[in-house]
Structure 1
């Protein structure tokens, strides 16, 4: 497979593309947490709803 790429595009181009691919920054993967989900979606997949907050006048 690598020989086919080199034969088609040349050694210098393949080496340059490989170097760029190895040195390119990787995209960050955003992790999802329970609090990032909407309450409706959390309910659908079985996550407990967040506790109901009391209003300041009920304290």
Structure 2
């Protein structure tokens, strides 16, 4: 399953990497690809959307489905 969520606050490549790593630590996520220009991240796997948003929020960014 592929899901795209909106992430606000990413301003550089390091931000993208931080978001990707936070999401890849969530059970069920096989990969995550963040793009600061579109303010989004595409997540592959079968994780719960609430858990994805929580992981991004805990990493210091604002996420929404």
- TM-score by length of structure 1 reads 0.28
Whose helix fraction is larger, Structure 1's or Structure 2's? 1
Q: Which has the larger radius of gyration?
A: 1
Q: Which has the higher contact order (CA 8 A, sep 6+)?
A: 2
Whose strand fraction is larger, Structure 1's or Structure 2's? 2
